[in-house]
Structure 1
Amino acid sequence: MVQVLEFKLPDLGEGLTEAEIVRWLVEVGDVVAIDQPVVEVETAKAMVEVPCPYGGVVTARFGEEGSELPVGAPLLTVAVGATEASSASPEDDGPAAVEPSGDSGSGNVLVGYGTGAPAARRRRIRPERVGAPAAPTPTPAPVSVAEPVAVPAAIGEVNGRQGPVAVVSPLVRRLARQHEIDLRRLTGSGPDGLILRADVDSAIRRVADEATETAARPAAEPVVAEAPTAAVASTAVASTAVASAAASATAERIPLRGVRGAVADKLTRSRSEIPDATCWVDADATELMAARAAMNAASGPSGGPKVSVLALLARICAAALARYPELNSTVDTAAREIVRLPGVHLGFAAQTERGLVVPVVRDAHTRNAESIGAEIARLTELARTGKLSPAQLTGGTFTLNNYGVFGVDGSTPIINHPEAAMLGVGRIMPKPWVHNGELAVRQVVQLSLTFDHRVCDGGTAGGFLRYVADCVEQPAVLLRTL
């Protein structure tokens, strides 16, 4: 017996609600095995290959490459049992049926699917065992390779009216609401009339074109000759409408989705929920740079990886958070409580082709500078290749942002919600500096600390920043706490 099963986009974890299809790994008509990756998707966290919990023949795919699907939307359909039926032996002397096997299944945990996806197993039915003549074997319905399973219509409110709408994606519904597009007046180009984002985009362009044509028509002659002021006003309004419509038609619109959308949401939430304040200080990093050079020289040409400045600053931050644990916390707004966190999971900002990401070094308070540096290098390489998992991008308790690599001296960091603070580091460059009572050229860096004013006051934040600056200026200070 052949059964067509629908595989929906699973919950990929970490609160993600949608994903963008980057690349299909199978075609309609391909035979897939259980747990075989069938599509590569990009979430707000990382690139993920999604395995299929069923084995069989792919009968339909939903969504083109570059389109977004919400969690729970149909991804593809698989005819389970088709490969077994086609490979039946001609010597079989009895009818065959397909039944689930309890000893095999998907080993991947997909939310909504579990690990017990059935595999097909042939069972021979012998009439003599039941003492009755064999019933005629029903012929299974043919499975169309190109025919997709119907997508149920979503029920929702559109422009104030209730009714069924052939649309699955909440992103499409939101886009239609924003541009006042009535979805019931659209004909979907997707399977079974499903309305896709491309359909809504086309409707938006049509409305803009109609507005441009209407505004560009010559204004009618005024009926009352004694009212030139009204005619002038009408011409001015028409000109404004033409300019506005033309600007709307030519302006480039870039969707806030994927990594860029996740960053936008997090920064907006940070600004709206956290009462932040910033303090900064210039520090003489000459001794820190000399200490780093000595460390790397001692390791020799083949003595292991070099210690980076970022690794040293990360180790300093971990030591500072041990002295000022208020900044290694978060705020439970519902309970109106400050939650002090036991360990330091240090995030660091990394710029990639996909946008800004913040990988997390776990248990930074238990690592030395060399270990932190090695972990930063490993996570940075994963970030550049787009292979960071959602778990490696979440759970941070404090963030270090080295924007000095962009050639700037200072900035005002935005806290990585729901953390309580972020340290920003500018470029280290030679500047005139008073050293031992004399003017000298020293390696100077600006340090900026943005903190949540709910977790501490300026005295605590200033103490943290001053300790970090003291360790930068005199690395021996750090030895007292190690």
Structure 2
Amino acid sequence: MAQVLEFKLPDLGEGLTEAEIVRWLVKVGDVVAVDQPVVEVETAKAMVEVPCPYGGVVTARFGEEGAELPVGAPLLTVAVGAPATESEGSGNVLVGYGTQAPAARRRRVRAGAAGADGKPQPLRTAAAAPPARGTAPAAAQQPAPPPAPGSAGGPVPVISPLVRKLARDNGVDLRRLAGSGPDGLILRADVESALRAGTAGTPVAGEPVVRAAPTAAPPAGAGVRIPLKGVRGAVADKLSRSRREIPDATCWVDADATELMRARTAMNTAGGPKISLLALLARVCTAALARFPELNSFVDTEAREVVRLDHVHLGFAAQTERGLVVPVVRDAHARDAESLTAEFARLTEAARAGTLTPGELTGGTFTLNNYGVFGVDGSTPIINHPEAAMLGVGRIVPKPWVHEGELAVRQVVQLSLTFDHRVCDGGTAGGFLRYVADCVEQPAVLLRTL
């Protein structure tokens, strides 16, 4: 006899708590095999295809394309041919993540999420662990009523972990709020209304509970609201955190890049794979970091320690249709110019296609930002938290320049270094930037470190 198994959105790792459904790869009635991808989702890190650990017939889908689901929410149900348990899945939902559910807990799925037939589904809770022997199935149990606002114990019903984080970061005590969502569910609008009303803080005994008013619709002509979610939302959160936590400073210098451009031309006319300018700049960066290791580090704020790293995982800024991403070249210090060129090309193509994995977008120790491709000369970039520095490279353009005592037209570039002032002082940062400029002006300087 067939048994219907529920497949939940798995833990995607890297601290991700929710994902947006981009495209369903199966429909109700389709037969799926074990580990067959069933849905494409976009997280704050990348787009990934989620495979189902069960084989059988799809009986229901939860959520339409464009809907956001928290980790642990039902994705679909599958009728399998023989009795099985959730632990009998393949264990291969995502490479490196698996299918094992976290500790038992209950999650809410938004009311009104459309099912496979397009009809709104009622608010439900999904248990993350099978019911104990002798108890009714989870589908037959009534969801526990949310605790009364202001109560001292019990979980506070919040629609999303991001809403809970918003409240925590701004000092809003959720127990003071009575949410405007179904069954008192606290929505993002409730927290934002509380912030506007100045109701954040610790509740006082006997004080009336604040009920957040629903957000009023914007007047006509007030503009278009674009949600900060997915990659764009993740970038916004990371940049905001960098500004809050890192006391950054920027220094810059103009450099004559004529000899570097000639060296690249000579390399590419000698045969073999073409060498990119970004790869040469990356090679300069790794050489400079070997001389100034203070800038290849991060600050452990809890331990109040600066952690210097013995490897360089080089991030580089890449603009895509979904926003700015920073792919990471692993062990850049151990690569030559040809290897760096090939890896930059591979990661750039994956970024544009939206197929970068979470591992390819995290773990950087230093970032190279070539904003010259946008036709600008200079910038003061925001450090990619928790790194300690970022090298910015402007466009290379012909300019009047004094060369060997005479005025000449040379290929000039502006270089900037934004650094965390906690890890070093201006002398170290200036020394790093001057060494980079010397390598750009006289590529033979690199021979000292090869």
TM-score by length of 1: 0.72
For residue 95 of structure 1, what is the aligned residue in structure 2?
A: none
Deviation of the 1:154 alpha carbon? 7.6
Equivalence map 1:42-61=2 (5 Å): 42-61=42-61
Q: Deviations over 1:159-199 (max 9, x none)?
A: 7579999985445889999x99611479xxxxxxx99999x
Change in Cα spacing, 1:164 to 1:472, as seen in structure 2 (3 Å) is: closer
For residue 183 of structure 1, what is the aligned residue in structure 2?
A: 181
Deviation of the 1:294 alpha carbon? 0.6
Look up the equivalent residue of 2:269 and give its one-letter code.
A
Equivalence map 1:146-165=2 (5 Å): 151-152=124-125, 153=143
Change in Cα spacing, 1:25 to 1:165, as seen in structure 2 (3 Å) is: farther
Q: Deviations over 1:407-437 (max 9, x none)?
A: 0000001100010000000000011111111
Q: What's the secondary structure of 1:250's corresponding residue?
A: coil
For residue 313 of structure 1, what is the aligned residue in structure 2?
A: 281
Change in Cα spacing, 1:253 to 1:158, as seen in structure 2 (3 Å) is: farther
Looking at structure 1, the residues matched to 236 and 164 of structure 2 have their Cα atoms a distance apart, in angstroms, of: 20
Q: Deviations over 1:128-184 (max 9, x none)?
A: xxxxxxxxxxxxxxxxx979898225865787579999985445889999x996114
For residue 265 of structure 1, what is the aligned residue in structure 2?
A: 237
Deviation of the 1:80 alpha carbon? 2.3
Looking at structure 1, the residues matched to 439 and 51 of structure 2 have their Cα atoms a distance apart, in angstroms, of: 49
Look up the equivalent residue of 1:418 and give its one-letter code.
P
Q: Which runs of 5+ in 2 are unaligned?
A: 102-115, 126-142, 168-173, 190-211
Looking at structure 2, the residues matched to 15 and 355 of structure 1 have their Cα atoms a distance apart, in angstroms, of: 20
Q: Is the 8 A contact 1:154 1:168 kept in 2?
A: no
Look up the equivalent residue of 1:113 and give its one-letter code.
T
Deviation of the 1:54 alpha carbon? 1.4
Change in Cα spacing, 1:60 to 1:474, as seen in structure 2 (3 Å) is: same
TM-score by length of 2: 0.77
Structure number with greater Rg is: 1
Q: Is the 8 A contact 1:155 1:165 kept in 2?
A: no
For residue 236 of structure 1, what is the aligned residue in structure 2?
A: none
Q: What's the secondary structure of 1:480's corresponding residue?
A: helix
Q: Percent identity?
A: 78
Q: Which runs of 5+ in 1 are unaligned?
A: 85-97, 116-144, 187-193, 199-203, 210-244
Q: Deviations over 1:336-364 (max 9, x none)?
A: 11111110111110001111011111111
Equivalence map 1:268-417=2 (5 Å): 268-299=240-271, 303-304=272-273, 306-417=274-385
Change in Cα spacing, 1:154 to 1:390, as seen in structure 2 (3 Å) is: farther
Q: Deviations over 1:37-68 (max 9, x none)?
A: 11100111111000111122222211110011
Q: Is the 8 A contact 1:275 1:452 kept in 2?
A: yes
Q: Deviations over 1:211-269 (max 9, x none)?
A: xxxxxxxxxxxxxxxxxxxxxxxxxxxxxxxxxx626x732111111010010011001
Q: Is the 8 A contact 2:372 2:395 kept in 1?
A: yes
Deviation of the 1:77 alpha carbon? 1.5
Equivalence map 1:440-451=2 (5 Å): 440-451=408-419
Looking at structure 1, the residues matched to 318 and 22 of structure 2 have their Cα atoms a distance apart, in angstroms, of: 22
Give yes or no for the alignment of 1:422 onto 2:390. yes
Aligned residues: 386
Equivalence map 1:230-269=2 (5 Å): 246=219, 250-269=222-241
| 1:113 aligns with one of 76, 83, 99 | 99
For residue 67 of structure 1, what is the aligned residue in structure 2?
A: 67
